[in-house]
A and B are shown apart, each in its own frame.
Chain A
Amino acid sequence: MVPYQRGRRSFVKLSMSKRVSRTAGPSPFDLHVSHQCKTPADGNGRNEEAHLAAEIEDPNRRDVLVLAANAFAAVGAASLIWPFVQQMNPDAGAKALASTEIDLTPVKEGQAITVMWRGKPVFIRNRTKDEVAAAAKTPVTELPDPEVDAKRVKAGKENWLVMVGICTHLGCVPKGQTMADSKGDFGGWFCPCHGSHYDTSGRIRKGPAPRNLEVPPYEFVSDTKIKIG
């Protein structure tokens, strides 16, 4: 096999093949001739190398074409990859902020309910006066994720605590919603997966979880009804 010579001046126009053949010279496909192309043609003009030299394309023009074509192909490939990646992202339907309205009337003091919002459990607890007081007087500076209780509830509705019921450690659902559940060392919630203890404000107190339980966007649409989302 003839080794293909890499180099700017090694390109020989393929269309010349028939013409050169008349001279019974070397095949243009034998690219050893490309070395000879570099040598300037002699003045007599009888050397067929002169023909070859004349047929060499302008390397600058070729370089521009190759560069432009490759750049165009790269942009094309990149723009094709984008939809292929994007198809795995949540679509508009999943992204739509589905909001849920919940009637709080049946939830008596000390009780809790769990509702679904965006496919996640949301804890709603009607806290007792003791629980609210305990949450309020906790020294914030000692907490792993300092946050005052007042910022986690709505003013005037301090007994209602609304949180996404997903442990901030690795996504388990903490215990503490039902009477029989262990509520952890701080009377709030306890995650059985890796032992995170949350207090009556849903703040992390002990264990591996880095942050307090998340409070979702919600508002009171009436005295006894909230809208999450």
Chain B
Amino acid sequence: MSNHVSTYNPQSRFAKWFDERLPIMRLVHDSFVDFPTPRNLNYLWTFGGILSFCLVAQILTGVMLAMHYQPSAEGAFNSIEHIRRDVNFGWMIRNFHAVGASMFFVAVYIHIFRGLYYGSYKAPREILWILGVLIFLAMMATAFMGYALPWGQMSFWGVTVITNLFSSLDGIIPGFGTAIVEWLWGGYSVSGTTLNRFFSLHYLLPFVITGLVILHVWALHVAGQNNPTGIELQHKSDSVPMAPYAVMKDAVGMFAFLIVFAWFVFFLPDYLGHADNYIEANPLVTPPHIVPEWYFLPFYAILRAIPSKLGGVIAMFGSILVLFFVSWLDTSRVRSTKYRPIYRWFFWLFLFSCLALGYLGAKPAEGVYVFWARVFTAYYFAHFLIVMPIVGLIETPSKMPRSITESVLGPGGGGAGTPAGAAAAPEKR
């Protein structure tokens, strides 16, 4: 935390010499070794580390795939097959990358819902949260452009549909939307030119994400971590050093995550993708049922739920933009939903809505599916724009522990790091 006094103590003369010139080891020590970590963090807090791992893994495997991939309309599809069949261990690296994208989103969704449940977006963590939403947006752009690269039918038609969203701007200024779309395409239809620029940006954006992640972690270390009680650190006894406690817990979470990851990579590599993407892109034949990757389905459902073209596009982008304002939409002074008896129900309803939208996004846009997509879309926005402001004002929070230590040890439990002799009269907190 910002007021945390450095405890780095260089052990060798070289370390001391180096520290006086570039205190990077001190930075690492104070940020990731002796950083005060709330003692009550649960396993939902391991996803920050897991996400950092995902980013590094995606960049590493992506760099390796780019050594064998050809970003051209003629060569792309065959080069993916070349990677899968000919390149030494190419099948494995490709699976790491494709499954890795899905796992990245699994982790980021858990991370986001954890933040929503425990009020991690509230003061003083607004910038931290906004940086997180920016990372999420950049991830979506990266994933979307990455999915175009295999140049299968789903790649091609997914790009066609999503880029055509911008043509809805014709509804505001005639011709403007079309101009934007042609600019994105570099032509009058999705073509090899489009693929080439998507490859360039797909390679660039992960480094933008890396920069945002550095800012995100920086902001986290200024405010300090939130925790399941939502109460700030007050005493020494409220925290433990990050190493080894939080690091080891992160490692346990990470290994559990990697088991699932490896299971998909080695046993179900294509389960999360779509079979149509193993048919080479054909501008003359549209697949009967175009669906995005699973992690975009809730947003796709919102897009299709609105009967107007421009309205659907606005709703879809709005569903992400609204996340930027969560810090101010939530009026409750209590962070953790654990102590919010009314809001808690709405939180689970919101989670259910998102899952339902995900299910509906995979279904054809007809009949009862459209009806329910509208219901859950309505609740998605109502949750942020109505429930969050109002429930925060009318709700009486349940009794909260006075400190993190008390939440762990019970009332009167533990000491604030006081010597054994003074423990008979523990200071009141």
Contact = CB atoms under 8 A, between A and B. Distances in A.
B395 interface: no
Contacts of A141: none
A24 interface: yes
Interface stretch (B153-161, B234-242, B295-303, B312-320): B234-242
B86 A93 contact: yes
Nearest to A24: B423
B241 A18 contact: no
B229 interface: no
A17 interface: yes
A86 to B, nearest CB: 4
Q: A interface, how many residues as a size bin?
A: 20 to 34
B39 to A, nearest CB: 6
Contacts of B241: 1-4
A25 interface: yes
Given A1-B36, A4-B241, A83-B93, A30 B87 contact: no
A1 B423 contact: no
Interface in A26-82: 26-27, 29-30, 32-33, 36, 48
Nearest to B36: A1
Contact of A1 (B4, B39, B64, B413): B4
Given A4-B244, A26-B423, A27-B405, A86 B7 contact: no
A155 interface: no
A33 B240 CA distance: 14
A2 B417 contact: yes
A4 B236 CA distance: 13
Contacts of A33: 420
B224 to A, nearest CB: 12
A88 interface: yes
Contact of A87 (B5, B90, B405, B412): B90
B413 to A, nearest CB: 4
Nearest to B35: A1
Contacts of A26: 415, 417-420, 423
A92 B423 contact: no
B237 A87 contact: no
Contacts of A1: 4-5, 7, 34, 36, 236, 239, 241
B89 A87 contact: yes
A14 B41 CA distance: 14
Most A Cβ at <10 Å: residue of B68, B408, B414: B414
A29 B237 contact: yes
B138 interface: no
A24 B426 contact: yes
B243 interface: yes
B237 A27 contact: yes
A151 interface: no
A89 interface: yes
Most A Cβ at <10 Å: residue of B7, B67, B87, B408: B87
Nearest to B406: A21
A87 B236 contact: no
Contacts of B68: 87
A2 B243 CA distance: 12
Contacts of A29: 39, 237, 240
Contact of A3 (B34, B237, B239, B410): B34
15 contacts: A1-B239, A2-B236, A21-B410, A24-B412, A24-B424, A25-B423, A26-B419, A26-B423, A29-B39, A30-B237, A32-B417, A83-B92, A87-B64, A87-B68, A91-B90
Interface of B: 4-5, 7, 34, 36, 39, 60, 64, 67-68, 86-90, 92-93, 236-237, 239-241, 243-245, 405, 408-410, 412-420, 423-424, 426
Interface of A: 1-4, 14, 17-18, 21-22, 24-27, 29-30, 32-33, 36, 48, 83-84, 86-89, 91-93
Given A30-B415, A84-B64, A84-B93, 18 more contacts: A1-B4, A1-B7, A1-B236, A2-B241, A4-B244, A18-B410, A21-B410, A24-B415, A24-B423, A24-B426, A26-B418, A27-B416, A27-B417, A29-B39, A83-B92, A86-B88, A88-B64, A91-B87
- Closest 5 A/B residue pairs (Cβ): A83-B89, A21-B413, A21-B409, A30-B417, A86-B88
